[in-house]
Structure 1
């Protein structure tokens, strides 16, 4: 395939992905419109360690994800950094993480560990360490190893926080929120009022964000 042919193929693939996105999104949107469902789950809490960006951003992008989910790891490593540069750092979009540990109790424990690191200002370092981790280990000792990798200053305090029921309750609150929305797969996103299911080409996220920015009155 020539370079031009490959570019055309990628463009066509991206267009198809966008169409599939909005078909899938409309199905999920139907659930959100049912009685008792709420579209606006953005928290916009100042100082929230699981969020990145201005609380005054015009659009909030929420991700429901699992630290042991390979496609979530791909999004975290390849796509999210670009979206942060393009939209979050300029103040247009706020990114909010939600824990959705669907792959077993180890996933729940990983989510608690990230929040324990967050108490010492190292949430995102631990978050990235979890997604970069190629080990199959998922026990207390491994969480301590990752705490050192992430630069958590007081590992002894971190070890105690792993058993704090308040952190487990925070994770469970995210799980309950996802359940109310009908989000069961990871990763699942709510970009403003546009749902996106699965790890997609970056252009899918860009189009959803641009759509929501226009709805918010932002002209670019």
Structure 2
């Protein structure tokens, strides 16, 4: 499959809106903590010493800023829908769920990214049980490896593990309890040892890690991430709707439910 192409402008813009929304939310929180308001435009300033020395009126209490609800957040995200880059290839490494599921989630990740690990442990497991297993969602993991060679080796390892039907086991082993493995454990030698601990044939595993097929598959994912401007992980495309960061599970379920409602 050819690598998707996009203009520099498109690459720059596809992730801008989600980031802006996060910044707005942060600004609202900051505003709520300032505890100050500007004086009213029609409020007269003291005109004399006597006026200035009068007992001050109680300071007006700041109004609480209106909070952005999850539904409002999702509504804005859905207005920034981009291309659907799901591949829907049966048995593709890192894919979970039915090929024809109504909603697809492409996940751009990195095995040295702690937030990717937290998302896997805290949110992906929920989505797997509540949506993937019921045929409503397909998840396609793509390693963009923004943290360099150790990440690249880790991605090769999961794709090699897929050859022995153990992608998920290797994936989970590299994200232990919401953490990540140190870089010195993400070498070909160390990862082959990890494959042995998981019960895999280490000779086959080592051969598959360096095979043209596995290298091409991992390289394709890396190139795709670069082509659409993924510079931080995790990042997501849910039916083409871009989102960044390991946000709470209810944000993801709200988007998925909204997408499911469109096809019912």
TM-score of the two chains, using structure 2 as the length reference: 0.67
Query: How far off is 1:16 after superposition?
Result: 5.2
Q: Is the 8 A contact 2:193 2:202 kept in 1?
A: no
Which of these residues, 192, 198, 209, is aligned with residue 150 of structure 1? 198
In 2, the alpha carbon distance for the partners of 1:179 and 1:167 equals 19
- CA apart distance, 1:125: 0.7
Q: Which residue of 2 aligns with 1:82?
A: 126
Larger displacement relative to structure 2 (179-188 or 201-210): 179-188
Query: RMSD of the alignment, in Å?
Result: 2.3
Q: Determine the C-alpha separation between the residues in 1 that align with 2:204 and 2:225.
A: 30
Q: Determine the structure 2 residue equivalent to 1:123.
A: 167
After superposition, the Cα gap between the structure-2 partners of 1:155 and 1:18, relative to the gap in structure 1 and judged at 3 Å, is: farther
Report the structure number with the largest CA radius of gyration.
2
Helix, strand or coil at the partner of 1:121: coil
Q: CA deviation at 1:136?
A: 4.0
User: What is residue 181 of structure 1 aligned with on the other side?
Assistant: 228
Alpha-carbon distance in structure 1 between the residues aligned to 2:245 and 2:255:
14
For structure 1, which runs of at least 5 residues remain unmatched after alignment? 1-13, 33-38
CA–CA distance in structure 2, aligned partners of residues 188 and 180 of structure 1: 14
2:87 to 32, 37, 43: 43
Q: State the Cα distance separating 1:176 from its structure 2 match.
A: 1.7
- 8 Å CA contact 2:106, 2:238 repeated in 1: yes
Q: How does 1:1-220 map to 2 (within 5 A)?
A: 15=68, 29=80, 32=82, 39-132=83-176, 134-137=181-184, 138-152=186-200, 154-215=201-262, 217-218=263-264
Q: Are the counterparts in 1 of residues 122 and 249 from structure 2 also a CA contact under 8 Å?
A: no
The SS at the match of 2:107 is: strand
Q: Deviations over 1:82-114 (max 9, x none)?
A: 111111000001111111100111101110111
SS in 1 for 2:112: coil
Native 8 Å contact 2:160 2:208 kept in 1: yes
Match of 1:11 in 2: none
Change (3 A) 1:22 1:66: farther
Distance in 2 of aligned mates of 1:109 and 1:22: 38
Give the match for residue 36 of structure 2. none
22 and 70 in structure 1: CA distance in 2 versus 1, 3 angstrom threshold: farther
Alpha carbons of structure 1 residues 80 and 72: separation in structure 2 relative to 1, 3 Å: same
Residues 15 and 91 from structure 1, CA distance in 2 versus in 1: closer, same or farther, beyond 3 angstroms? farther
Please name the residue that 1:36 is paired with: none
Between the aligned partners of 1:19 and 1:202, the Cα distance in structure 2 is 16
Would you say the 8 A contact 1:64–1:186 is kept in 2? Answer: yes
The answer on whether the counterparts of 1:21 and 1:197 sit within 8 Å (CA) in structure 2 is no
Q: Determine helix, strand or coil for the equivalent of 2:106.
A: strand
Rate the CA distance shift 1:214–1:25 in 2: closer, same or farther, 3 A: closer
Contact 2:77–2:241 (Cα < 8 Å) also in 1? no
